[in-house]
Amino acid sequence: MKKKQVVLVTGASAGIGKDTAKSLIAEGYTVYVVARRVENMKDLEKLGSISLKMDITKEEDVVAVVEQIKKDHGGVDILINNAGFAIQGPVEEMAIEEARRQYDVNVFGLARLTQLVLPYMREKRAGKIINVTSAAGKVYFAMGAWYVSTKHALEGWSDCLRVELKPFNIDVVIIEPGAISTEFNDVSLNPLEEKYGSGPYGEMVKSFVKFSKETESTNNSSPPSVITNVILKAIKSKRPKARYAAGAMAKPIMALRKWGGDNVYDWIIQKMVR
């Protein structure tokens, strides 16, 4: 009997991570799900997942999760690096401590977890690493300097890693979601106006928040299942593409950035924050 592949999904307490985990369980994989809010993964446990509490910025948590999986199943066959968050605001006003945490979660924590699962994959000469970045990894917008830069960093990091791991038959795949209907926007937008709405960038902040909320309210966003389907496609493919863009506005806005050039793109972004 063929051994079921072991998948580790980070950030599985909500949104893309949770939706992906549900589909992977249904597909018959052995699915480990991790997040800080372990209580929000009870529904995944009932479906058959194994949930573990993990703060991706804490070395002891990350090591403990990998060691547990090694003990139970030998190691991770497929790693889905989905955990991430956004803190938005003007560069001048945002505390550098907040910016540093953004990198700790979106880049360094992810990188440390990847380091720990790689020896098993390398020895087997098989494995897949799926890094969920964002369309923001190819574009930019006001109020998003720290978040956007983490996604740009993750794109470049993933490209380098893909080349390094190719000789060991390990695939590295980038997933670039566009606008997705999750709690992500609420977490990043709700504090924005309260913290920065009365400062020197106040009018720009209010305009950005208004535009973002109007975009979501007019159904210009996609359900998490759109990204789940792309992740499953990458997992099942013998020769997955290096990157997949999916979800509302992802492909058009990246094409605009690529072919329109800086001046055109800047003009459009400035229209968003009148």
pLDDT tens track for 16-47: 999 999 999 999 999 999 999 999 999 999 99
Residue 206 located in a structural domain: no
Half-sphere exposure of 54 (CA within 13 A, CB side): 32
- Residue 209 pLDDT: 85
User: Is the pLDDT reported for residue 120 higher than 80?
Assistant: yes
| Residue 84, both tokens | 């991430």
- Residue 207 pLDDT: 87
**Beta partners for residue 173, in sequence order:** 130
- Residue 235 pLDDT: 97
Read off the pLDDT band of 186 (50, 70, 90): low
Give the pLDDT mean for 144-162.
97
Q: For the chain, state the CA radius of gyration.
A: 19
Residue 180 located in a structural domain: yes
Q: What share of the chain is helix, strand, coil (3-state, %, to 5)?
A: 55, 15, 30
| Residue 45, both tokens | 């446990």
Read off the pLDDT band of 208 (50, 70, 90): confident
Read off the pLDDT band of 1 (50, 70, 90): low
Order of strands across the sheet with 30-35? 50-53, 30-35, 6-10, 78-81, 127-132, 170-177, 243-246
Phi/psi of residue 127, nearest 5 degrees: 155, 165
Residue 48 located in a structural domain: yes
Phi/psi of residue 242, nearest 5 degrees: -65, -35
| Residue 46, both tokens | 């009932």
Q: Going by DSSP bridges, is the β-strand pair 78-81/50-53 parallel, antiparallel, or unpaired?
A: unpaired
Q: Which helix (H) or strand (E) holds 267?
A: helix 250-272
More confident residue, 119 or 273: 119
Residue 193 located in a structural domain: no
Q: Going by DSSP bridges, is the β-strand pair 6-10/50-53 parallel, antiparallel, or unpaired?
A: unpaired
Residue 214 located in a structural domain: no
Residue 273 located in a structural domain: no
More confident residue, 3 or 229: 229
The SS3 assignment for 180 reads: strand
| Residue 105, both tokens | 């979660």
**What are the counts of helices (DSSP H) followed by strands (DSSP E) for the chain?**
10, 7
The closest of 137, 72, 67 to 107, measured between CA atoms, is 137
Provide the mean pLDDT of the chain: 93
Question: Please, are residues 80 and 130 in contact by the beta-carbon 8 Å criterion?
Answer: yes
User: What would the pLDDT profile of 71-101 be if each residue is shown by its tens digit?
Assistant: 999 999 999 999 999 889 999 999 999 999 9
Buried b / exposed e along 154-163 (16+ C-beta atoms within 10 A)? bbebbeebbe
Q: How many angstroms separate the CA atoms of 111 and 158, rounded?
A: 10
More confident residue, 212 or 82: 82
Q: How many domains does the chain have?
A: 1
Half-sphere exposure of 227 (CA within 13 A, CB side): 31
- Residue 270 pLDDT: 85
Residue 64 located in a structural domain: yes
The SS3 assignment for 106 reads: helix
Give the pLDDT mean for 3-14.
95
Domain coverage including residue 133:
6-188+223-255
The closest of 178, 72, 176, 86 to 130, measured between CA atoms, is 176
CATH number of the domain bearing residue 250: 3.40.50.720
Alpha-helix runs per DSSP H in 197-245: 202-217, 225-236
Residue 200 located in a structural domain: no
Catalytic site residue 147?
A: yes
Single out the catalytic residue among 147, 196, 201, 265.
147
